[in-house]
Amino acid sequence: MEQFLIFGVVGLSTAAIYAIVGSGLVLTYTTTGVFNFAHGAAGMLSAFAYWQLSVGWGWPVPLALAAVLLVLAPAFGLLVEKVVLRPVQNLGEAERLVMTVALLSGLIAAARWIWDPNLPRPLTTFFTEREPLHLGPVTVTWHQALTMIVAVLVALALWFLLNRTRIGAEMRATVDDRALVGLTGADPVRANRVAWVLGTQLAAIGGILIAPTVALDAAQLSLLIVSAYTAAIFGRLRSLPLTFLGAVVVGCLESYLTGYLPQNQYLPGLRLAAPALLLFLALLLFPHGRLRGRDRRLRPVPTPTMRGSVVFAGVIVLFAVVLATVLDEVDAISYGPMFALGVVALSFVPLSGFAGQISLCQLSIAGVGAVVWGQLAPDGQPWALVAAFAVSALVGALIAVPALRLSGVYLALATAAFAVVLDRWIFTLPSFELFGVRIAVFNQSSVEMAGPDFFGFRLEEPAELMVFSALCLALGSLGVAALRLSRFGRRLIALRDSEAAYATLGGSLLAARVLVFALSAGIAGVGGALYGMQLQSVTAEQFNFVAGLPIFLIAVIGGLGAVGNGLFVGTAYLGPIHLLNAVAPWTHNIVQLLPALAGLGFARHPEGIVPGMRHSWEPLARSRVALSALLGGFAVLWLLRIGDVVGNAVLLLGTAVLALALRTWAQAKEATATEPEVPVEWWGVRRPWRKEDEEVLSRGIAGG
């Protein structure tokens, strides 16, 4: 009994922190309609800033607290509102989600850059020197008491603000109908600013209170938010009292699991993963209100042509072959995973691009694929690649079935929770036996991966594996293009456009969702296996949730619906990082920020970059003269490189200059060749009626 009480106190004091952070989340969601994935990261940054001021620079504690809570946190909140969220205010929910994911990824990278993660940064609890309170058998430290008092005060103050003041009504009204707020003479921008300032301050309080009890680590502190998310989901992202109840459930669960979970090697991970598991369950069990501030402006999914896709697939393979011939061994290792990660990124295209389902766990599923390959193909049996596809697809289907009723933010959250469960528990498991089969996950450290063996011909060298991955990426891209053109592809887009309409037309939501989840998970699994082979030895960290965020961001920037996204993500993710590192090694830390920064710039190109690239390069691909000139010029440069007459830089720059020049030429030629614009009403009269006119007209009419 005594032990029960002691763990209860610990649980309640953690619960208090989750409640503070969770209520900040509810506040920003109910008043701005943005589900802030970076909420925990803001708390993490505040904890680091507090450490820097109080310990690093030796400021007195009250001064450091005031500086963080009253100056830095509000300033950061205002900055986020202005720079990050104002530009996407009028875009859809998915775009706003991407912005906060970019912020999360960026803040973690920034904190690691500013504060070297290898140095320990101890923070003392508040009132350490004071004698703890003794309440019967239970001892409560002053830090714990303070935490609980702060939580109660926050709860009361927030409730009063939202329900009893005019600014509270203004904030809630802004989510309901922003334009109408302006018509009443109130100020929606002010309402949003207040919400962001308060939300960031709450995150900061939570971060500073929890930092002394855990290690000051950027990713870990940011992900403590998972528990706060769970609490907020208990409150259905709306109710503060239920959020507090949820926080108590999560806090006590964690604490009692620490106390009562049997000690063996399989279960400690379960305790760490418990909040994420609970989040997953809470998402499934609680009914969700209609998402707020939801304005769906769907973008058309680009239609590839089969001929263009074949050319594109050829380009991928050619690119890999050229890279394989010109890169030395070290560079081949650096750039090699490009195509394997491209396959992982390609898995976003059917799932998020066509079917509109946001998943944040694709890299984690890729990890499953890698584990399967490591387990089944110690000697590189090629059939294990099929097994990697199958097992990953099964995992994908397993996520899809319970997640059937989730969409948007909730689905993103559920997949994030799933990724965290894998990270903290499944991937850390020692080897175990299931139905008589010995399964080793990551062996708690690293797993060796063999290259595939085709009838005695073993692919071992990084360059060989790179070409093999590129071949897989080319085939995958072709397959996804075929899918887009197929009946099933059209069905998925119909599903994205309106689930209700899809169901009324007789489509089966369950079947379509499970299939697309399985398919995309399968692709990700193969990508993971290829990535593993390329790296030769993999650890669980390479497949964790945080590592997956940049890939998701770049995929979004590329344009989720574009088939060419696989190659784009692979190149854009690894290319700049290694190139910059080679040219200027001091940029090592900054380049980690690039995906996040690019993600934040995404508001300017919400349709993605790849469709635009396709548009600008198509004239070159259509022009026989330009294409043969490019291939010829490139062949010359390549031969010069093979003969060691010129270096890689000349090859790269020369090709780039040649390609850009020819592109401009082809565009100019095509522009003069096309006839002058004929007004719509004269189509079929002044010029003959074309097959594509009908679609153009239909789209124009449908678009209003």
Partner 1 sequence: MSALLELRGVRASYGGITALHGVDLSVSAGQVVALLGPNGAGKTTTLKVAAGVHPADSGRLLLGGRDVSGANPRDLARAGVCLIPEGRGVFPNLSVRDNLLMMTFTGRGREEIEEIAFARFPVLAERASQAAGTMSGGEQQMLALARGLATDPAVLLLDELSMGLAPLVVAELYEQVAEIARQGVAVLVVEQFAAAVLDIADHAAVLVRGRVERRGDPDAGLRAELSDLYLGSAR
**Residues forming the site for partner 1 (CB under 8 A):** 166, 169-170, 172-173, 175-177, 179-187, 292
Q: State the nearest-atom distance from the C-beta of 166 to partner 1, in Å.
A: 6
CA pair distance 228, 199, nearest whole angstrom: 13
Q: Between 25 and 216, whose beta carbon lies closer to partner 1?
A: 25
CA pair distance 373, 43, nearest whole angstrom: 39
Q: Between 180 and 511, whose beta carbon lies closer to partner 1?
A: 180
Cα 13 to chain centroid distance, Å, stands at 31
Q: State the nearest-atom distance from the C-beta of 198 to partner 1, in Å.
A: 19
Element (H, E) at 158: helix 142-164
Q: State the nearest-atom distance from the C-beta of 544 to partner 1, in Å.
A: 37
Q: Which residue has the tokens 């001929």?
A: 307
Q: State the nearest-atom distance from the C-beta of 680 to partner 1, in Å.
A: 12
Q: Between 183 and 673, whose beta carbon lies closer to partner 1?
A: 183
CA pair distance 318, 311, nearest whole angstrom: 10
Nearest to 213 by CA among 118, 143, 130: 143
CA pair distance 252, 278, nearest whole angstrom: 12
Nearest to 348 by CA among 545, 544, 594, 556: 556
CA R_g for the chain? 27
Q: Between 183 and 330, whose beta carbon lies closer to partner 1?
A: 183
Q: State the nearest-atom distance from the C-beta of 235 to partner 1, in Å.
A: 15
Q: Between 180 and 285, whose beta carbon lies closer to partner 1?
A: 180
Q: State the nearest-atom distance from the C-beta of 175 to partner 1, in Å.
A: 7
Q: State the nearest-atom distance from the C-beta of 177 to partner 1, in Å.
A: 6
DSSP for 263-316 reads: --TTSHHHHHHHHHHHHHHHHHHS--PPPTT----PPPPPPPPHHHHHHHHHHH
For residues 600 and 551, the answer to whether their CB atoms sit within 8 Å is: no
Q: Between 182 and 430, whose beta carbon lies closer to partner 1?
A: 182
Q: Between 109 and 171, whose beta carbon lies closer to partner 1?
A: 171
For residues 79 and 38, the answer to whether their CB atoms sit within 8 Å is: no
Q: State the nearest-atom distance from the C-beta of 34 to partner 1, in Å.
A: 16
DSSP for 552-567 reads: HHHHHHH-TT-TTHHH
Q: State the nearest-atom distance from the C-beta of 302 to partner 1, in Å.
A: 22
Q: State the nearest-atom distance from the C-beta of 30 to partner 1, in Å.
A: 9
Q: State the nearest-atom distance from the C-beta of 190 to partner 1, in Å.
A: 10
Q: State the nearest-atom distance from the C-beta of 168 to partner 1, in Å.
A: 9
Q: Within the chain, how many helices (H) and strands (E) appear?
A: 32, 8
Helical axes 240-260 vs 142-164, angle rounded to 10°: 160
Q: Between 33 and 558, whose beta carbon lies closer to partner 1?
A: 33
For residues 17 and 209, the answer to whether their CB atoms sit within 8 Å is: yes
Q: Name every residue whose Cβ is closer than 8 Å to that of residue 248 and which is 6 or more positions away in sequence.
A: 11, 12, 15, 19
For residues 334 and 574, the answer to whether their CB atoms sit within 8 Å is: yes
Q: Between 293 and 548, whose beta carbon lies closer to partner 1?
A: 293
Q: Between 176 and 695, whose beta carbon lies closer to partner 1?
A: 176
Q: State the nearest-atom distance from the C-beta of 295 to partner 1, in Å.
A: 14
CA pair distance 291, 54, nearest whole angstrom: 41
CA angle 44, 49, 50 (to 5 degrees): 95
Q: Between 293 and 525, whose beta carbon lies closer to partner 1?
A: 293
Identify the DSSP state of 71: I
Q: Between 452 and 606, whose beta carbon lies closer to partner 1?
A: 606
Q: Name every residue whose Cβ is closer than 8 Å to that of residue 171 and which is 6 or more positions away in sequence.
A: 30, 31, 162, 191, 192, 194, 195
For residues 240 and 26, the answer to whether their CB atoms sit within 8 Å is: yes
CA pair distance 157, 611, nearest whole angstrom: 49
- How many CA atoms are closer than 13 Å to the CA of 689, on its beta-carbon side? 7
Nearest to 30 by CA among 186, 199, 148: 199
Q: Between 176 and 448, whose beta carbon lies closer to partner 1?
A: 176
Q: State the nearest-atom distance from the C-beta of 243 to partner 1, in Å.
A: 17
Three-class DSSP category at 453: strand
Q: Between 184 and 305, whose beta carbon lies closer to partner 1?
A: 184
Three-class DSSP category at 134: strand
